[in-house]
């Protein structure tokens, strides 16, 4: 469904396979080319340790970023476009949760809406727990309010105090 006005959305971008830096850069460029969508800005790239359910399974580190977009696409239509981009970059969805992947695109925030359905929950249900989302989001929107959670500034500060996951910026500039 096309909205009459543009909505500001935030997309988490991550990759740890097949040249992750190139995968993330390609995805960031493709996000602004989505129908009824324009890119506003994106964060620098960050390196983070992978989340895994099985510590015995080794994975390469992830490269992550967050993009701010303005879109007229409805949230479900935007989700479908994000999943199509993932497939175009070689993402296959399987039974393994938190496995290695060429591209992971997460709809973090859709304006100030709170929605939960079988297909999509916004804000992203674990946004407030993940340094690899909060640090890049803080870079581009520190005063943004996350519905039901508080400001990105406060969430990032709390994450820095309690985070055991390493997440560090790469030497890359944002757009």
CATH (domain of 56): 3.30.70.560
Give me the pLDDT at residue 1, please: 75
Determine the structural domain holding residue 51 and report its residue range. Answer: 2-167
Please identify which of the residues 61, 70, 72, 91 carries the catalytic annotation: 91
pLDDT tens for the 175 residues of the chain, in order: 788 899 999 999 999 999 999 999 999 999 999 999 999 999 999 998 887 656 667 889 999 999 999 999 999 999 999 999 999 998 877 655 667 889 999 999 999 999 999 999 999 988 988 889 999 999 999 999 999 999 999 998 887 544 444 566 664 444 4
Residue 151 lies in a domain: yes
Note the pLDDT of residue 130.
Answer: 87
pLDDT, residue 90, reads 84
Distance CA 35, CA 25 (A): 19
Active site residue 106: yes
Please confirm, yes or no, whether 104 is among the known catalytic residues: yes
Query: Would you say residue 175 lies in a domain?
Result: no
Query: Is 172 part of any domain?
Result: no
Give how many domains the chain has, as a whole number. 1
This prediction's pTM: 0.89
- The SS3 call for residue 124 is coil
Q: Please indicate, yes or no, if residue 18 is contained in any of the structural domains.
A: yes
The pLDDT, as a whole number, for residue 96 is 58
Paired strand residues for 37: 71
Answer yes or no: are the C-beta atoms of 27 and 85 closer than 8 Å. Answer: yes
User: Which of 19, 104, 113, 143 is an active site residue?
Assistant: 104
Q: Identify whether 91 is a catalytic site residue.
A: yes
Q: Is residue 62 a part of any domain in this protein? A: yes
Q: Which of 61, 101, 112, 163 is catalytic?
A: 101
Instruction: Say which of 54, 61, 70, 106 is annotated catalytic.
Output: 106
């Amino acid at each position: 469904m096309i909205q009459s006005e543009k909505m500001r959305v935030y997309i988490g971008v991550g990759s740890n396979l097949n040249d992750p830096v190139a995968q993330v850069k390609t995805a960031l460029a493709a996000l602004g080319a989505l129908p009824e969508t324009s890119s506003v800005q994106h964060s620098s790239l960050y390196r983070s340790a992978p989340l895994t359910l099985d510590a015995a399974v080794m994975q390469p580190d992830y490269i992550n970023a967050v993009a701010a977009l303005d879109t007229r696409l409805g949230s479900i239509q935007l989700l479908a476009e994000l999943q199509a981009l993932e497939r175009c970059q070689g993402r296959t969805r399987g039974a393994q949760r938190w496995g290695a992947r060429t591209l992971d695109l997460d709809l973090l925030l859709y304006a100030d809406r709170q929605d939960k359905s079988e297909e999509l929950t916004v804000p992203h249900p674990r946004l407030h727990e993940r340094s690899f989302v909060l640090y890049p989001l803080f870079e581009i929107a520190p005063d943004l309010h996350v519905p039901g959670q508080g400001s990105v500034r406060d969430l990032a500060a709390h994450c820095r105090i309690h985070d055991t996951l390493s997440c560090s910026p790469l030497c890359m500039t944002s757009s």
